[in-house]
Chains A and B, each alone.
Chain A
């Protein structure tokens, strides 16, 4: 099977610091892969290298057989690669509904055509469906910046899925989220994976969440892949236990 995303020997150095040090992995179509590792193990730097936020020192990345090494976030978004960030990244002054519409509107028609398009760019119904899926109906018309952290987190994730991306990289979706919302989030991601058929790569520190969501897990330590396999295999790997999970 041709991998959807293939990362080969990705390296990112900051002077003498080897933030990412020769990481290789592949993600298949529709697959959900978890990335775990202690703080400073290079997970977010790896994401940023794949997603064009930073330029990797060396390495090669392919998406659907196309070389995407060093591509800008815009070019990747146009190819169907979405992401969320470690910190909240919503458009604070826009309403929740507008946040969702803007997340997908740029994929509809050309730039001049969008000037003359309907105000909701024909995405109103889709945005409402997503609002319902994420149970945000009661705040749909409020400014996103005025909502609670958990609600903004949901908006942030919903935005990434609005254009139905083929690949989504989620950076700590559970960070700062209460346990009840974590379970809701896991269910939502499972539903979206089935409904949209995209592949997900998820960085997360919540072990229960990642073990129940991802059929395959990669553990990174000091910029390298320490272990890779099924959740239970990684969880019982001695090196992983020593480096990350303790005893």
Chain B
């Protein structure tokens, strides 16, 4: 039997058992990891699998979160609001994909950065809709088949199972002919087009599907924190999500899982260093980028080569 599936099974069980030994804040961090994992998987599709550049992913997390918060405050069910948030992000992502048809690399990075800034200003300034800097509070957590998910552990398990389901969707997508076309688009768009790959359609789809994942994550985020304001959706958040994908291993299925764990949990583990913990985190990231540009999941390959 292969070692990979056993290790994956053990990791899934270990994460499921983790809340038993954690306090509320620890469970909250684990749930936050699941939320960023959902968004990170979408960004990995856009950046890692389809080779597009995006530093505006937090804007989609924000669109998803605000859509969920506003509509749930109006009394609509999470189960209606969550797919709607995904759908809205899908269409906004489709529109954001258009610059990618004309520009690439750092030009595209700046186009997506501009979008993030624009959305952040919208969340902050359109007080009538978003509450501005005061935000939206009192967001209810959803229920499931009559069960309350108000407790931190219950909401963690709900988010954890949702993240696994979303990972299965991504797994199926990247193994489908679409996944292969995304990889062709990333590796060599000119050759891909000469082989009949519709690079316009696949570029737009890569952005739209990635955005939809972030939209779903946004809905879970709103219900997790129960209060949203513009700060978690600013440019730093987008850079942090990109960091998750790159640190874990861009274009590798488990990359965002590991990357999100590093970016969300490592600063917390380093807190014993008091004032130095963010410095140590920054140094760890610099070291990773220098010695492991392919991300942590490239370590086995590096070892095989040496």
Contact = CB atoms under 8 A, between A and B. Distances in A.
Nearest to B185: A91
Interface string B246-280: 00000100000000000000000000000000000
Contact of B187 (A74, A78, A85, A94): A94
A106 B191 contact: no
A114 B177 contact: yes
Interface in A49-94: 51, 53, 72-74, 77-78, 82-83, 85, 89-94
A91 B188 CA distance: 6
Interface stretch (B83-91, B192-200, B220-228): B192-200
Chain B residues touching A, majority SS: helix
A14 interface: no
Contact of A115 (B176, B183, B188, B190): B176
Contact of B195 (A72, A102, A119, A121): A102
Contacts, number: 89
A73 B188 CA distance: 14
Interface residues on B, range: 20 to 34
A94 B179 CA distance: 11
A96 interface: no
Contacts of A103: 195
Given A94-B183, A106-B198, A111-B201, A74 B193 contact: yes
B176 A78 contact: no
B180 A77 contact: no
Given A101-B180, A119-B177, A90 B195 contact: no
A72 to B, nearest CB: 7
B177 A94 contact: no
Given A91-B184, A91-B187, A94-B183, A117 B177 contact: yes
A51 B196 CA distance: 12
A201 to B, nearest CB: 15
A74 B187 CA distance: 17
Nearest to B183: A94
A98 interface: yes
A112 to B, nearest CB: 10
Contact of B181 (A77, A92, A102): A102
A114 B176 contact: yes
Given A78-B196, A111-B198, A106 B181 contact: yes
A93 B176 contact: no
A107 interface: yes
B281 interface: no
A105 interface: yes
Contacts of B201: 111
Contacts of A82: 194-195
A20 interface: no
Contact of A107 (B173, B175, B180, B196): B196
A159 interface: yes
A123 to B, nearest CB: 9
Interface in A188-224: none
Contact of B184 (A72, A102, A114, A119): A102
B176 A119 contact: yes
B178 interface: yes
Interface in B202-219: none
Contacts of A106: 181, 195-198
B239 to A, nearest CB: 25
A91 B190 contact: no
B177 A90 contact: no
A231 interface: no
Contacts of B199: 74
A83 B241 CA distance: 39
Given A91-B187, A94-B183, A111-B198, A105 B177 contact: yes
Given A94-B183, A98-B183, 10 more contacts: A73-B190, A74-B199, A101-B177, A101-B180, A102-B180, A102-B181, A105-B181, A106-B197, A114-B178, A163-B195
22 contacts: A73-B193, A74-B197, A78-B196, A85-B194, A89-B191, A91-B183, A91-B184, A91-B187, A91-B191, A91-B192, A93-B251, A94-B184, A94-B187, A101-B177, A102-B180, A111-B198, A111-B201, A114-B176, A115-B176, A116-B176, A159-B195, A162-B195
Interface of B: 173, 175-178, 180-181, 183-184, 186-188, 190-199, 201, 251
